[in-house]
């Protein structure tokens, strides 16, 4: 086969590494160092290589000693720095595995340990490795890290990440040869004796050896202690680590005695301690002269050990040299920390398959196919994808939303509200539980009725809101906001299980059990009447009442709740029939489907807050003007005590108000800050919501403004991110139908 | 490698029941006409029952529409799941069940037979889970 | 990746759990009777020990049960499995 | 090759038996405090006691992002003061800090992210901070390698941008302060662990250390991660919890990213340092820990997020991962000021954002130690706020570690 290196073409052999081929062709140099641009050549035969770095196509910083030749391979030498290029990412994946014994290292002692082990056994080997009976042998697989003593991360053939949970981990990781320190120890042709042998004693090459350093990386990562071994002149594993054992050369056993170590004569700026980082003995001496005593300081001053080889051939020499310079024993210096990964691993391998469409789930409701088919524009709400609006031919968002709002206020409109969180609360103590969790009281709530509720965090800030329906003597269903459904159920469970275990109450998520459609507008009855036998007139079906029956032939629970101020019915059906219900509603009469944007406008006209938009974790129900939802009679509820703290009861807290721009066509930018005068710089609050109102025929906004409720009529200025402050008048938060006259729809004719 | 078959399986009427479970922790078992699946020390699922069947339990909730079921069948089915599930699947023998994570999603894992696995998920996640499983299948085929 | 012992489901990977912080912080019997400082002590102030810690976890992606255990915040070793 | 560091950094003195001020913790904030005590207040009878080696904690374990675009006035004031000090620090300390004002982007991925981002930009501008709101096309101009396609799971809907934000080289900063403090006569004592705090009549009068008792006029605790441990020696509890915060660095590559990019929603933040390595961080690990190591799944999720934003990073390689121990306050804001124990002062709870604040933290804490009461900058960041409820909630501005 043929391959290209630095522009010249060479013949290569099957199974040969790029480094081996270069050396065989007599190329003992061919590389340059990162800082000083000194000529360098292949130095080792394995992953510790400090010099021979190449770029192969889009792959940067490959070690020539690990690159397996293939026909047509084109490699360019790199001076310690690679190139990132835009190219399609390779497909990578990850895999979980469990075993009784995991052996790292396929050498003689590793294979022996694996062969002797019982149960499920996995053997990892960096290079190629023969199979072993009853053992899962993963070759060309490098162990990157040992976490918490029983969890090993490994990468197989550069594309599969293994996450292996092992009862026992056996480290048979062997040792790395290190160079001796002498002037010119970085010259092309100088190579480690082990590499010299591996490459068949190439002509012109000079074998050198400064002894061997055990691969103690995984042991140390897992918290194993190290001890300086005089004989081999390197740190070795020391003491015990539950579930982890070292065998073979990593323990120091079987390694040759290290040659005696002394600081070399001659030009210390020619003696390389770290070849990849281009650091010399002179640099190290300078660091000591600067007053540095700890190995970590010397490392940072000189950058020894920070190269892509992580100092595999440099660190031990650095310890020995530093000890000489400081006149201490190497053992006193310890080592720098060993941090995963043992060899560099590409981002895409770690990321695996959970990228692009699999990066994070998109949650959709049973009605979703209809929304897609009808051209909805969607909005991400948490993981949910909800219709934001349904543009008709040529409509932009503004036009579509004005039309959808007008339909809800003047005729009838429908919204898919299936994403509401829903929690079934059952048990003899259900009422007591709700009274403790919500700020308001439920004692007077009758079966078949529902009530708006608010809950606070323990420090009194608005957590969520929703509707509590009493559907039985000891059974309630609570709704939550879309984004908070999981959080609220977890919150309730935490209090139930950890603080109030004596309460006989049980919680079940029914969020996806029910699909829900909101039918909104003065003609809501006209739309529903043909589809149901449930009496809909205000007398027999009052506001905040619940009825059971059928809608469009589907068993349904119908609730008269309104998030718009208009006459509205929520129709709840079995989730599997949600689409059927929706299609029936959409084709009955001429209901206008509307999305989250119109819903936001409609609720804002009535000053109904959106948790997370009007609130940000610093807003109390009082700030929102909701004193009426805070029980005065209950002894306690979650958050009650915090509402009595000096700061949470200040009169000048930011309060929810509406803003009417002086220019009725000016739309305030959501997020704009409020100031008292155009040139003022002291913030008095911010705009939380801002819309064009079809009902008002003008723009309006909701804002949190310092002492806002005492400042009606005052003109303040909304400062946008760009452009001039916009004057707007502070008014009462409810800007539409203050008296609530539209709630029951048109008076019966 | 032998192929793995992926299909969606319809679930019968299902309820969540509260009280003393009729099955041991993380186990399944037959209960008059249905299959009981352990969910917690005071909570279990019955596949094949209605609220009326458990009127005397501490609590019972119809959750028939709250889960969909994917079935993986074939010798390498476990190898597909192992790509996104950190459980020791060898220990999850037929008759056991587990609530855990598959990729980014909460799942209820059942193993009706040695080489047949059932993955129950909330319907809103079905699209993601199906896409994830189909993508994982590419790795074992 | 910590291995957390759920009393009901056995050892599971940390990703299946949510953390609940220090255990033994009982909700005050009568919050209204507390000074602001005493209430703040309950809400915010913690031992945050270096070493053994009794803490709360919930098997959020499993059986959804809360439980306590004792863990060393330096070694991450779990000494006491609880219910 | 040019030398990145001076030929001399600091003496290694033996500790005296008494100092006017003892600072516990030889990290960035402690060293900066010592420097400003000596320079601004002429107090040079100061010891910085470090149990291990100088600047071995969070100061050299963070991702060195510098910015001041916090939401609330109190935070904006102290972080902007820090940024102004950063802008003159290389000259002041006569040290090459590799301070690079390359701009910091904070991406919005949802409509609420956009509202929150615009809100913060508007607040910043009122506070004289150079914040801008960028639409997606403008984001792409600032950062061409960022994927702003609308077809991704969480598309970029806009971003806040602070041009004066950037990065610096962490150990240069710490060593710069250390060298300057040493030159002004401050004793930097390494390998000196505080094992106790001696109280007399309710006042802190000395510290017990592994190198003997050291009396002090005033004691400042500046030991991020270990604040609770030290406070407990004086019988104090703090509203902080110690969590691991992980980061990672890649091999060296030619420059592809010349600004800092943060994303709260997908939890990743990244810059490319001067030598060419990519530096990435994410959120804290959920559990309490002093182990200076975190869990791998956090790194895994962080890289999945990074590749959603930067497809060109696919073949970049993780060279090294590590963790620091950060102490986190309930409102994601620090505690800097006096304690109920007379003579004992605390500077902690910077959580994930302490690096950028180093100069102002040292400046304000030095003032506090010199005068025995808080400076205007740190007065709002008191322990009392947890009782009154006057929290300074910066979770929005500090939602990811940085």
**What SS3 string covers A461-496?**
CEEEEEEEEEEECCEEEEEECHHHHHHHHHHHHHHH
Contact list in C for residue B40 (CB cut-off 8 A) is: 8, 63-65
- Across the interface, whether the CB atoms of A510 and B18 are under 8 A apart is answered no
SS (H, E, C) chain D: CCCCCCCCCCCCCCCCCEEEEEEECCCHHHHHHHHHHHHHHCCCCEEEECCCCCCCCHHHCCCCEECCCCCCHHHHHHHHHHHHHHHHHHHHHCCCCCCECCCEEEEECCHHHHHHHHHHHHHHHHCCCCCEEECHHHHHHHCCCCCCCCCCCCCCCEEEEECCCEECCHHHHHHHHHHHHHHCCCEEECCCCEEEEEEECCEEEEEEECCEEEEEEEEEECCCCCHHHHHHHCCCCECCEEEEEEEEEEEEECCCCCCEEEECCCCEEEEECCCCEEEEEEEECCCCCCCCCCCHHHHHHHHHHHHHHCHHHCCCEEEEEEEEEEEECCCCCCEEEECCCECEEEEECECCCHHHHHHHHHHHHHHHHHHCCCCCCCCCCCCCHHHHCCCCCCCCCCCCCC
d(CA D39, nearest CA chain C) in Å? 35
> For residue A335, what pLDDT band results from cuts at 50, 70 and 90?
confident
Q: How far apart are CA D292 and CA D58, in angstroms?
A: 10
Q: How far apart are CA A135 and CA A119, in angstroms?
A: 9
Tell me the mean pLDDT in the region D274-301. Answer: 93
pLDDT of residue A649: 87
pLDDT of residue C1: 87
pLDDT digits (tens, 9 = 90+) for D17-38: 999 999 999 999 999 999 999 9
Tell me the mean pLDDT in the region D38-59. Answer: 97
> For residue D3, what pLDDT band results from cuts at 50, 70 and 90?
confident
Could you tell me what percentage of chain A is helix, strand and coil, using 3-state DSSP and rounding each to the nearest 5?
20, 30, 45
Q: Which residue of A has its CA nearest to C58?
A: A494
- Across the interface, whether the CB atoms of C1 and A490 are under 8 A apart is answered no
d(CA A368, nearest CA chain B) in Å? 10
Interface of C with D (CB under 8 A): 1-2, 14-15, 18-19, 21-22, 36-37, 39-41, 43-50, 53, 55, 71, 73-76
Contact list in D for residue C49 (CB cut-off 8 A) is: 228-229, 232
pLDDT digits (tens, 9 = 90+) for A474-532: 999 999 999 999 999 999 999 999 999 999 999 999 999 999 999 999 999 999 999 99
Contact list in A for residue D252 (CB cut-off 8 A) is: 34, 61, 80-82, 308
- Across the interface, whether the CB atoms of B87 and C12 are under 8 A apart is answered yes
Q: Extract the residue ranges of chain B whose pLDDT is less than 50.
A: 1
d(CA C1, nearest CA chain A) in Å? 7
- Across the interface, whether the CB atoms of D9 and A291 are under 8 A apart is answered yes
- Across the interface, whether the CB atoms of C61 and B25 are under 8 A apart is answered no
Q: Which residue of A has its CA nearest to D126?
A: A681
pLDDT digits (tens, 9 = 90+) for A140-172: 999 999 998 899 999 999 999 999 999 999 999
d(CA A219, nearest CA chain D) in Å? 15
Q: Which residue of D has its CA nearest to A283?
A: D3
Contact list in D for residue C48 (CB cut-off 8 A) is: 228-229, 238, 240-242, 288, 327
Contact list in D for residue A346 (CB cut-off 8 A) is: 314-318
Tell me the mean pLDDT in the region A93-119. Answer: 98
- Please check the confidence at residue A613 and state whether its pLDDT lies above 90: yes
- Please check the confidence at residue D396 and state whether its pLDDT lies above 80: no
d(CA C48, nearest CA chain D) in Å? 6
pLDDT digits (tens, 9 = 90+) for A628-643: 999 999 999 999 999 9
Is D226 at the interface with chain C, CB within 8 A? yes
Contact list in A for residue C75 (CB cut-off 8 A) is: 223
Q: How far apart are CA D166 and CA D105, in angstroms?
A: 10
Residue A552 CB partners (closer than 8 Å, separation 6+): A531, A532, A580, A581, A584, A585, A588
Beta bridge partners of D401: none
Residue among B84, B101, B102 with most chain C CBs within 10 A, to mutate: B101
State the Cα torsion A346-A347-A348-A351 to the nearest 10°.
130
pLDDT of residue A633: 93
Is C22 at the interface with chain B, CB within 8 A? no
- Across the interface, whether the CB atoms of D154 and A380 are under 8 A apart is answered yes
Torsions phi, psi of A469, nearest 5? -105, 135
d(CA D242, nearest CA chain C) in Å? 7
pLDDT of residue D328: 95
pLDDT of residue A749: 46
CB interface of A with D, residues 218-257, below 8 Å = none
Contact list in A for residue D270 (CB cut-off 8 A) is: none
Task: Give me the interface pTM, i.e. the ipTM.
Answer: 0.96
Count of other CB atoms within 10 angstroms of residue A293: 16
Is A724 at the interface with chain D, CB within 8 A? no
- Please check the confidence at residue A589 and state whether its pLDDT lies above 90: no
With beta carbons less than 8 A apart as the criterion, state whether D355 and D73 touch: no
Neighbouring chains of D at 3+ CB pairs under 8 Å are A, C
Give burial (CB, 10 Å; 0-12/13-18/19+) of B52.
exposed
Contact list in D for residue A362 (CB cut-off 8 A) is: 153
State whether residue A301 is helix, strand or coil. Answer: helix
According to DSSP, residue C32 is labeled G
> For residue A460, what pLDDT band results from cuts at 50, 70 and 90?
very high
Q: Could you tell me what percent of chain A has a pLDDT over 70? A: 100
Q: Could you tell me what percent of chain A has a pLDDT over 90? A: 98
Count of other CB atoms within 10 angstroms of residue D301: 22
Tokens (6 digits) for A492 = 């309730």
Angle at A117 between CA A216 and CA B93, to 5 degrees: 115
pLDDT digits (tens, 9 = 90+) for A713-722: 999 999 999 9
Of C43, C47, C75, nearest to D237 by CB-CB distance is C47
- Please check the confidence at residue D400 and state whether its pLDDT lies above 80: no
Is B100 at the interface with chain A, CB within 8 A? no
Q: Extract the residue ranges of chain C whose pLDDT is less than 70.
A: 82-83
Contact list in A for residue D158 (CB cut-off 8 A) is: none
pLDDT digits (tens, 9 = 90+) for A237-259: 999 999 999 999 999 999 999 99
pLDDT of residue A739: 94
Q: Which residue of B has its CA nearest to C63?
A: B40
Is B96 at the interface with chain A, CB within 8 A? no
d(CA C46, nearest CA chain D) in Å? 6
d(CA C49, nearest CA chain A) in Å? 20
Tell me the mean pLDDT in the region A580-593. Answer: 96
Task: Count Cα atoms within 13 angstroms, Cβ side, for A297.
Answer: 24
Mean pLDDT estimate for chain A:
97
- Across the interface, whether the CB atoms of A297 and D12 are under 8 A apart is answered no
- Across the interface, whether the CB atoms of B104 and A426 are under 8 A apart is answered no
pLDDT of residue D265: 78
- Please check the confidence at residue D2 and state whether its pLDDT lies above 70: no
Is B73 at the interface with chain A, CB within 8 A? no
Neighbouring chains of B at 3+ CB pairs under 8 Å are A, C
Task: Count Cα atoms within 13 angstroms, Cβ side, for A575.
Answer: 25
Residue among C50, C51, C68, C76 with most chain D CBs within 10 A, to mutate: C50
Contact list in A for residue D50 (CB cut-off 8 A) is: none
pLDDT of residue C55: 97
Contact list in C for residue A423 (CB cut-off 8 A) is: none
> For residue A96, what pLDDT band results from cuts at 50, 70 and 90?
very high
Contact list in B for residue A380 (CB cut-off 8 A) is: none
What's this model's pTM, rounded to 2 decimal places? 0.96
- Across the interface, whether the CB atoms of A686 and D7 are under 8 A apart is answered no
d(CA C14, nearest CA chain D) in Å? 9
Is A353 at the interface with chain D, CB within 8 A? no
Neighbouring chains of A at 3+ CB pairs under 8 Å are B, C, D
With beta carbons less than 8 A apart as the criterion, state whether A271 and A183 touch: yes
Interface size, chain A vs chain B, as Cβ–Cβ contacts under 8 Å? 91
State whether residue A129 is helix, strand or coil. Answer: coil
Contact list in A for residue B18 (CB cut-off 8 A) is: 426, 506
Residue among A100, A358, A418 with most chain B CBs within 10 A, to mutate: A358
Which sign, positive or negative, has the C-alpha torsion D326, D332, D337, D340? negative
- Across the interface, whether the CB atoms of D321 and A340 are under 8 A apart is answered yes
């Amino acid at each position: 086969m043929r391959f290209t290196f630095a522009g010249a073409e060479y013949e290569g052999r099957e199974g040969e590494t790029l480094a081996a081929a270069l050396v065989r062709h007599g190329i003992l140099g061919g590389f340059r160092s990162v800082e000083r641009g000194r000529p360098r050549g292949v130095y080792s035969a394995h992953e510790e290589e400090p010099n021979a770095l190449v770029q192969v196509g889009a792959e940067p910083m490959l070690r020539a000693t690990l690159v397996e030749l293939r026909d047509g391979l084109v490699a360019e030498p790199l001076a310690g720095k690679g190139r990132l290029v835009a190219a399609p990412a390779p497909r990578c994946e990850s895999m979980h595995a469990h075993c009784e014994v995991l052996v790292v290292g396929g050498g003689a002692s590793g294979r022996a340990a694996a062969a002797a082990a019982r149960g499920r056994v996995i053997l990892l080997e960096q290079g190629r490795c023969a199979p072993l009976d009853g053992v899962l042998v993963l070759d060309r697989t490098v162990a990157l890290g040992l976490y918490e003593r029983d969890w090993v991360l490994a990468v197989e053939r550069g594309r599969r990440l293994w996450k292996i949970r092992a009862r026992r981990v056996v480290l048979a990781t062997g040792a790395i040869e290190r160079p001796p320190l002498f002037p010119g120890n970085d010259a092309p042709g100088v190579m480690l004796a082990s590499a010299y042998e591996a490459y068949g004693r190439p002509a012109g090459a000079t074998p050198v050896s400064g002894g061997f350093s055990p691969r103690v990386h995984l042991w140390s990562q897992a918290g194993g202690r190290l001890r300086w071994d005089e004989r081999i002149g390197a740190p070795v594993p020391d003491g015990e680590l539950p579930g982890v054992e070292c065998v073979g050369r990593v323990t120091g056993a079987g390694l040759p005695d290290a040659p005696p170590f002394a600081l070399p004569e001659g030009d210390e700026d020619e003696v390389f301690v770290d070849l990849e980082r281009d650091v010399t003995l002179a640099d190290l001496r300078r660091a000591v002269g600067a007053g540095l005593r700890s190995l970590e300081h010397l490392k940072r001053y000189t950058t020894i050990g920070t190269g892509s080889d992580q100092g595999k051939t440099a660190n031990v020499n650095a310890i020995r040299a530093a000890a000489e310079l400081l006149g201490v024993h190497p053992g006193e210096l310890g080592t720098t920390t060993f941090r995963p990964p043992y060899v560099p691993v590409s981002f895409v391998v770690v990321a695996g398959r959970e990228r692009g469409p699999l990066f994070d789930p998109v949650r959709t409701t049973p009605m979703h196919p209809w929304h897609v088919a009808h051209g909805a524009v969607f909005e991400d709400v948490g993981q949910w994808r909800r219709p934001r609006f349904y543009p008709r031919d040529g409509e932009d968002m503004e036009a579509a939303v004005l039309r959808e709002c007008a339909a809800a206020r003047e005729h009838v409109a429908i919204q898919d509200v299936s994403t509401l969180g829903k929690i079934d609360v059952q048990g003899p103590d259900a009422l007591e539980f709700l009274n403790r969790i919500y700020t308001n009281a439920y004692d007077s709530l009758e079966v078949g009725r529902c009530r708006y509720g608010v809950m606070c965090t323990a420090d009194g800030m608005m957590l969520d809101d929703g509707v509590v329906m009493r559907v039985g003597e000891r059974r309630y269903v609570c709704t939550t906001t879309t984004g908070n459904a999981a959080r609220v159920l977890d919150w309730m469970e935490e209090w139930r299980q950890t603080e109030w275990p004596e309460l006989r109450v049980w919680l079940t998520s029914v969020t996806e059990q029910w699909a829900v459609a909101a039918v909104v507008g003065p003609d809501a009855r006209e739309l529903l009447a043909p589809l149901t036998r449930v009496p809909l007139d205000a007398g027999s079906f009052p506001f905040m009442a619940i009825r059971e029956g059928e809608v469009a032939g589907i068993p349904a629970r119908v609730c008269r709740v309104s998030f718009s101020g208009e006459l509205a019915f929520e129709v709840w059906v079995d989730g599997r029939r949600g689409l059927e219900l929706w299609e029936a509603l959409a084709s009955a009469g001429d209901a206008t489907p509307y999305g989250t944007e119109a819903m936001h406008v409609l609720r804002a006209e009535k000053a109904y807050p959106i948790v997370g938009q009007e609130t940000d974790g610093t807003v109390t129900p009082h700030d929102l003007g909701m004193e009426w939802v805070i029980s005065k009679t209950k002894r306690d509820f979650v958050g009650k005590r915090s509402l009595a703290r000096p700061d949470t009861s200040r009169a000048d807290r930011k309060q929810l108000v509406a803003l009417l721009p002086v220019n009725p066509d000016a739309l305030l930018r959501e997020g704009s800050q409020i100031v008292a005068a155009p040139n003022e710089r002291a913030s008095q609050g911010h705009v939380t919501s801002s819309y064009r109102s079809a009902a008002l025929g003008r723009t309006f906004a909701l804002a949190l403004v310092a002492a806002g409720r005492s400042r009606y009529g005052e003109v303040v200025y909304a400062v946008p991110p760009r452009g001039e402050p916009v004057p707007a008048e502070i008014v009462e938060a409810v800007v539409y139908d203050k008296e609530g006259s539209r709630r029951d729809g048109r008076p019966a004719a | 490698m032998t192929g793995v078959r992926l299909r969606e399986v319809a679930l019968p009427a299902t309820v969540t029941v509260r009280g003393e479970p009729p099955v041991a922790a993380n186990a399944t078992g037959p209960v008059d006409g249905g299959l009981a699946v352990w969910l917690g020390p005071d909570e279990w699922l019955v596949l094949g029952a209605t609220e009326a069947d458990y009127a005397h339990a501490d609590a019972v909730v119809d959750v028939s529409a709250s889960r969909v079921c994917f079935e993986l069948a074939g010798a390498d089915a476990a190898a597909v799941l192992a790509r996104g599930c950190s459980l020791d699947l060898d220990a999850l023998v037929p008759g056991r069940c587990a609530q855990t994570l598959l990729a980014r999603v909460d799942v209820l894992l059942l193993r009706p037979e040695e080489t047949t696995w059932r993955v129950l998920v909330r319907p809103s996640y079905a699209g993601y889970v199906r896409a994830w499983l189909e993508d994982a299948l590419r790795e074992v085929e | 990746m910590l291995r957390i012992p759920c009393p009901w489901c056995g050892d599971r990977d940390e990703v299946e759990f949510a953390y609940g912080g220090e255990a033994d912080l009982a909700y005050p019997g009568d919050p209204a009777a507390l000074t602001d400082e005493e209430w703040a002590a309950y809400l915010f102030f913690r031992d945050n020990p270096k070493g053994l810690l009794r803490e709360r976890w919930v098997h959020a992606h499993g059986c959804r049960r809360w439980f306590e255990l004792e863990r060393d915040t330096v070694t991450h070793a779990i000494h006491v499995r609880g219910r | 090759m040019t030398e990145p560091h001076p030929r001399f950094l600091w003496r290694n003195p033996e500790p005296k038996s008494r100092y006017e001020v003892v600072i516990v913790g030889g990290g960035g904030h402690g060293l900066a405090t010592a420097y400003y005590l000596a320079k601004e207040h002429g107090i040079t009878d100061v010891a910085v006691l470090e149990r291990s080696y100088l600047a071995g904690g969070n100061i050299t374990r963070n991702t060195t992002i510098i910015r001041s675009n916090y939401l609330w006035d109190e935070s904006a004031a102290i972080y902007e003061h820090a940024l102004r000090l950063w802008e003159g620090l290389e000259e002041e300390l006569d040290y090459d800090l590799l301070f690079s004002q390359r701009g910091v982007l904070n991406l919005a991925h949802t409509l609420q992210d956009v509202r929150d981002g615009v809100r913060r930009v508007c607040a910043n501008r009122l506070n004289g901070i150079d914040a801008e709101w960028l639409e997606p096309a403008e984001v792409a101009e600032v950062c061409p390698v960022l994927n702003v396609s609308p077809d991704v799971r969480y598309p970029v809907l806009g971003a806040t941008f602070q041009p004066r934000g950037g990065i610096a080289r962490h150990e240069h900063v710490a060593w710069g302060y250390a060298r300057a403090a040493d030159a002004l006569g401050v004793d930097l004592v390494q390998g000196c662990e505080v094992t106790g705090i001696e109280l007399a009549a309710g006042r802190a009068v000395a510290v017990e250390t592994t190198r003997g008792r050291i009396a002090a006029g005033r004691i400042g605790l500046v030991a991020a991660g270990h604040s609770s441990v030290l406070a407990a020696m004086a019988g104090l509890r703090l509203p902080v919890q110690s969590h691991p915060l992980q980061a990672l660095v890649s091999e060296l590559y030619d420059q592809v990213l010349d600004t800092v990019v943060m994303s709260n929603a997908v939890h990743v933040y990244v810059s490319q340092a001067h030598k060419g390595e990519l530096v990435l961080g994410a959120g804290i690990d959920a559990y309490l820990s002093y182990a200076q190591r975190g869990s791998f799944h956090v790194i895994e999720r962080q890289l999945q997020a990074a590749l959603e934003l930067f497809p060109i990073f696919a073949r970049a390689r993780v060279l090294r991962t590590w963790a620091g121990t950060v102490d986190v306050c309930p409102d994601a804001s620090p505690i800097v000021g006096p304690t109920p124990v007379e003579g004992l002062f605390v500077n902690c709870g910077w959580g994930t954002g302490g690096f950028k604040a180093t100069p102002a933290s040292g400046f304000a804490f030095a003032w506090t130690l010199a005068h025995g009461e808080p400076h205007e900058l740190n007065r709002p960041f008191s322990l009392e706020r947890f009782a009154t409820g006057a929290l300074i909630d910066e979770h929005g501005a500090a939602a990811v570690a940085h």
